[in-house]
Amino acid sequence: VIGHPKYQESKRIAIFLSMPDEIQTEEIIKDIFKQGKECFIPRYKPHSNHMDMLKLSSAEDISSLTLTSWNILQPSDDDSVREEALAGGGLDLIFMPGLGFDKKGNRLGRGKGYYDTYLERCIKHPSGKPYTIALAFREQICESVPAAENDVQVDEILYEDC
């Protein structure tokens, strides 16, 4: 990931805080700060498909986040101090989680459509749609995954041995 050309050229990067069954992102987040890039993480709104990408000030900032009912760390609902990526300069790159992927770029998420809805908002932003990279285990690559009309394909899937 760290040697990837898109990562190297990106300044504003959104990345998920990994759950135990996902690719672990902690070292990538540390590198984002080490490289002087800006790091944004998701804040999901429960009972909706709305998600924002809020800015972290440092890798250590993660310890100040609250745990959701889904066991995900994220900025609290009343945190209005952090920059939302689309309120500023948009994003260059989004690292995305998922449950399954196919080689056509289809992604099976957890069913709420958070990333698809967020990418639609990105497309309307003056900076345009960021490059998207899904981080996966080899076992998550399938022949095909179901895709709906409003699903946004990922630009690239990174997994071991790819």
Q: Tell me: the pLDDT tens digits for 101-157?
A: 998 999 998 878 899 999 999 999 999 999 999 999 999 999 999 988 888 999 999
Dihedral of the alpha carbons of 16, 19, 3, 141, in degrees to the nearest 10:
-100
Dihedral of the alpha carbons of 25, 26, 31, 32, in degrees to the nearest 10:
70
Tell me the torsion sign for CA atoms 85, 35, 32, 57.
negative
- pTM value? 0.94
**According to the annotation, is 113 in a ligand binding site?**
yes
User: Residue 125 is encoded by which pair of tokens?
Assistant: 């932003």
**According to the annotation, is 109 in a ligand binding site?**
yes
**pLDDT over 70 percentage in the chain:** 99
**According to the annotation, is 115 in a ligand binding site?**
yes
**According to the annotation, is 22 in a ligand binding site?**
yes
User: Residue 17 is encoded by which pair of tokens?
Assistant: 């805080």
User: Residue 144 is encoded by which pair of tokens?
Assistant: 């095909």
| pLDDT the model gives residue 162 | 55
**According to the annotation, is 65 in a ligand binding site?**
no
Q: State how far the Cα of 36 lies from the Cα of 81, in Å rounded to an integer.
A: 21
| pLDDT the model gives residue 61 | 95
